[in-house]
Amino acid sequence: MTCQATEPRDIHKLARRQLFVQPRLQGALIARTCVYSAVSSTLGVVVATWTMAAGPTIGTFMLVWSVAVLLGVVPLVFDMARVSNRIVGPLVRTQNALSRIADGHPVMPLRIRAKDPWQAWLGEFNRAVPRLNQAATEPSTRSTAARAEAADPRK
């Protein structure tokens, strides 16, 4: 038996029953997290070993730690930014398109990139674009701002 929400306010009652809802995306994120952890642990061992070999002074420790951060942590941060861009980018493009539709402007289908993790999401959005555009341009469904803009004699 599945939990069904009958009204929008009941949506919080839906239980998640599937841990991996996007296995490819979630697996890639878990793999990256493992790599980040392994690199960070290796850097810690290298810093500790190098510091002990060079003499345990605070100056040596700071020098070794600075080199480790530059060589290891900075590339991880850039990689994290790149990966998060791949995840967030399609969501922002969809949000912008929905905003344009809500304002009464038609939109073109969104471009789906080969490595977009939300290809199915974008595909379904693109499939709905003709209907969304039609609904956005019908006078009865346009927003108040769009109707006022269309009725403005100065334009």
Low-confidence spans in the chain with pLDDT less than 50: 1-6, 141-142
Structure tokens at 155: 């334009």
Residues 84-103 pLDDT 10s: 888 898 899 999 999 998 88
Distance CA 56, CA 78 (A): 31
CA–CA separation, 118 and 134 (whole Å):
24
Whole-number pLDDT of residue 81: 92
